[in-house]
Amino acid sequence: MNQSIKPGDNPDLTEERLSGTFDTNSMAAVIYGSDKLAQRRREISEAVSRIPELQDSKPCPFMTREEKILEGSRKSAILNRLLPGLIDLDSFEETVFIHQEVIGIEGHPLALHESLFIPPIATQGTDEQQKKWLGRAQRREIIGCYAQTELGHGSNLRALETTATFDISSQEFILNSPTITSLKWWPGALGKSANWSIVIANLIVHDKNHGPHPFMVQLRDEKSHEPLPGITVGDIGPKMAFNGADNGFLGFENYRIPRENMLMRHSKVTPDGGYIRPPHAKIGYSGMVRVRSRMAAEQGLFLAHALTIAVRYSAIRRQGYLEDRSREVKVLDYQTQQHRLFPSIARAYAFIFCGFETIRLYDQLLIDVQNGNTSGMADLHALTSGLKSVVTHQTGEGIEQARMACGGHGYSMASYISEIYGVAIGGCTYEGENMVMLLQLARYLVKSIEMIQNGKSKNLGPMVAYLAANESEIDLNLGPNEYLKVFQYAARSQAWRATEKFQKLRNSGMSKEQAWNQASVELTRASRLHTRLYIMSTFINHVGSVVDQKIKKVLIDLLNVHITYEVMDIGIYVQGLLSSDQMDLIRNQLYVSLETIRPNAVSLVDSFQISDMQLRSVLGRRDGNVYENLFKWAKSCPLNDKDVLESVTKYLKPMMDKSKL
């Protein structure tokens, strides 16, 4: 049933796997959406494991930044050669998967090339521009990045300072960074690797600023790789994580590019300096929505990484005693440990289910937009804004709890969990800072409530229809959908509370902006509850659709952990609805559900099927043989190359010797 058992494994882990009640390959098929996709992941892991040149030359935590970038470049170059034989090149999933398997999660010099450099050329370049650059980019004759954010400017696009001024006489744009805050800052691969970039700059024609537009800009000489004259470029320095990526800065001083380098599929500048504006103002949105729509599944998988490590390790780590004083117990048997980990397992499943659902919604939206129907854009934009925010936050919490659940060794880079945390938590900030995102969703919620107030409830989309519903009696014995009603109550009452606060402040004569600001904490709370409701609802629906009964059984157990934990967690919002007896019932139900899931805990994380190579964690090894490998890992760390360090010979030894005089 559990497909991860092998001879030589730590018997404590084998015992856990034997207690599982379902087939882990079948569960993987449910997690990844199909048996085929799950199997492809296994096949790719297996194929990669047999290619020596794709293995890590040493553990990532032992590498300097320069070594990480070198390693990422080495593997990228090899993958560029081997990829056609290893994956389906048209599959985005497989492409992402193999890079994570081979290079890991700390970033690499080509990470943005596929996801942020090629798409703008493909969607915003004219046919001619695509002909000129798309093939070169796809074949990797050039390496590109995407330069938008500036040193002093993040979310507020309107405030970008970089200028591209049209010089009609030479038919060129002149790029300039007029201030220090206008330096492009943060773009991945910009620092050292890319030689081309999409640059977002304010288009200025005849002294008129038409706002930010995309330009195709060569940064470095294709022969020498030296920065071209007029270009200042470099790496922005070490970060909390992602240190295998060379995020960079970029400044322009009267740097000229031909008129044809503005991406002109939507907006255009004619040779005589005429400006043609794009058909839809919000056409640029879809790129952001695409990236955000992928974040829930991606973050869910980061959480899955951390939980795989923590749950496996908790099954082999023994500490303290219960009844039997002769042998210490597995820490996974402690209720506090289960309470730390199992609700997170449920969330990881929920996020992944919800993530793939959101990707489906995005793909549908793309088809709709191509057919001229952009009506779903606002809905999906609001949804993905909230989802990105809630999922990144809860993922971060869950990963840190997983790390701490590993005790002291969780703190060692051998656990690798702190690196996973560093990478995942970046998601709270990139692609739209979480507070800003929650407030974007809040606008949508407030608008929805205004529709209800204006008697137009019928026009509400399905995701917000509950805002107009009446309260109903809750009978918790009727199952998950009753818990959903509890969540609806919480989300609804908070959305109304926040909206009414905003409206009251408005009516008191306050400006819209100030009223919004003063209601904003309440508004963000409404957004979080709305999003958590959506996640729970998707989880319930997904479990309902599972056919395999053994799988369904354990997923229902996991769902019970989820709904009870989540309702307890938002308890303060349901005071008006549930009696204290009902709250007690839910609380007890949560503890029961933790015990129910216990025998399947290891199988549930095994089902994510993250290979040892991808996991990069000594603590999380499939075979559970942790301690001997921790020792091996430590002995091989760079500091142990010598018995006596320079710090001793140069400073400590002289200090001690002098003290002896």
Binding residues: 149, 188
Other beta carbons within 10 Å of 436: 14
CB 105 to a copy of itself: min, Å:
15
Give dist(CA 248, CA 194) in Å, integer.
10
Q: How many residues bind a copy of itself (CB under 8 A)?
A: 129
Residue 25 vs 385, nearer CB to a copy of itself = 385
Closer CB to a copy of itself, 268 or 318, in the complex: 318
Our CB check for a copy of itself shows the closer of 91 and 649 to be 649
Which one from 431, 522, 628, 646 is the annotated catalytic residue?
431
Site for a copy of itself in 120-139 (CB under 8 A): 139
For residue 419, indicate whether it is catalytic: no
Look at residues 367, 363, 421, 416 and name the one whose alpha carbon lies nearest to residue 392. 421
- Asked if residue 487 lies in contact with residue 586, where contact means CB atoms within 8 angstroms, the answer is no
Restricting to residues 16-35, name those near a copy of itself by CB under 8 A.
none
> How is residue 358 written in tokens?
């959101």
CB of 648 to a copy of itself, least distance (A): 5
Ranges assigned E (strand) in 26-141 = none
Among positions 190, 341, 382, 428, the unique one binding a copy of itself when judged by CB under 8 A: 428
Secondary structure element (H or E) that encloses residue 608, with its range: none
Tell which one of 169, 224, 470, 508 touches a copy of itself (CB under 8 A).
224
* Minimum gap (Å) between residue 41 Cβ and a copy of itself: 26
Give the x-and-dash track for 525-564 against a copy of itself (CB under 8 A). Answer: ----------------------------------------
Q: Which stretch binds a copy of itself (CB under 8 A): 8-16, 47-55, 412-420, 457-465?
A: 412-420
* Nearest distance in Å: CB 458, a copy of itself: 31
Judged by CB under 8 A, the residue of 88, 222, 363, 475 near a copy of itself is 222
Contact set for a copy of itself, span 256-315 (CB under 8 A): none
Using CA atoms, how far residue 254 sits from 18, 144, 177, 230, 597, in Å, is: 68, 21, 9, 6, 64
Three-class secondary structure assignment of 313-338:
HHHHCECCCCCCCCCCCEHHHCHHHH
Candidates 160-168, 317-325, 356-364, 462-470 — which segment interacts with a copy of itself by CB under 8 A? 317-325
Q: Which is nearer to a copy of itself, 546 or 630 (CB)?
A: 630
> Quick one: which of 42, 65, 268, 552 contacts a copy of itself (CB under 8 A)?
65
Tokens of 155: 């979310």
**Of 7-15, 35-43, 329-337, 469-477, which part binds a copy of itself (CB under 8 A)?**
329-337
CA–CA–CA angle 526, 528, 534 (5° rounding)? 105
State the Cα–Cα distance between residues 501 and 504, nearest whole angstrom: 5
Spatial CA neighbour of 348 closest among 420, 431, 440: 420
| Cα gap 62→638, rounded to integer Å | 7
Is residue 211 part of the contact set for a copy of itself (CB under 8 A)? no
> What residues contact 403, with CB distance under 8 A and at least 6 apart?
306, 310, 410, 411, 415, 417, 418, 421
What's the start-to-end Cα distance of the chain, in Å? 70
Least distance to a copy of itself from the beta carbon of 48, Å? 18
The amino acid present at 481, given as its one-letter code, is: N
Examine residue 410 and tell whether it contacts a copy of itself (CB under 8 A): yes
Q: Which amino acid is at 174?
A: I
Least Å distance, CB 210 to a copy of itself, is 18
Residues forming a β-bridge with 173? 166, 257
**Could you say whether residue 230 binds a copy of itself (CB under 8 A)?**
no
Measured between alpha carbons, how far is 54 from 40 in angstroms, rounded to an integer?
18
Among 46, 128, 141, 253, binds a copy of itself (CB under 8 A): 141
Distance, in Å, from the CA atom of 398 to the CA atom of 367, rounded to the nearest integer, reads: 35
Rounded to an integer, what is the distance from CA 635 to the centroid of its chain?
A: 33
Residue choice 56, 433, 482, 500 for contact with a copy of itself (CB under 8 A): 433
How many angstroms separate the CA atoms of 276 and 123, rounded?
A: 17
In the list 42, 132, 239, 553, the residue contacting a copy of itself (rule: CB under 8 A) is 239
- Binding of residue 496 to a copy of itself (CB under 8 A): no
Minimum distance between the CB of residue 446 and a copy of itself, rounded to whole angstroms? 16
Of positions 28, 29, 105, 143, contacts a copy of itself by CB under 8 A:
143
Sign for the CA dihedral angle at 145, 146, 147, 153 comes to negative
Closest distance between a copy of itself and the C-beta of residue 263, in Å?
A: 22
What is the nearest approach in angstroms of a copy of itself to the Cβ of residue 617?
Answer: 13
Q: Which is nearer to a copy of itself, 337 or 603 (CB)?
A: 337
Q: Using the rule CB under 8 A, is 407 a contact of a copy of itself?
A: yes
Site for a copy of itself in 334-363 (CB under 8 A): 334-337, 339-340
| CA dist., res. 303 & res. 346, Å (int) | 10
Chain positions 621 to 660 lying near a copy of itself, rule: CB under 8 A, are 627-628, 630-631, 633-635, 637-640, 643-656, 659-660
Which residues participate in the annotated binding site for FAD?
A: 149, 188
- If one counts every other C-beta atom within 10 angstroms of the C-beta of residue 569, the result is 12
Strand duo 163-167 + 196-205: pairing: parallel
Residues 6+ apart with CB under 8 A from 529: 487, 490, 491, 494, 495, 570, 573
User: Annotated catalytic sites, by residue?
Assistant: 431
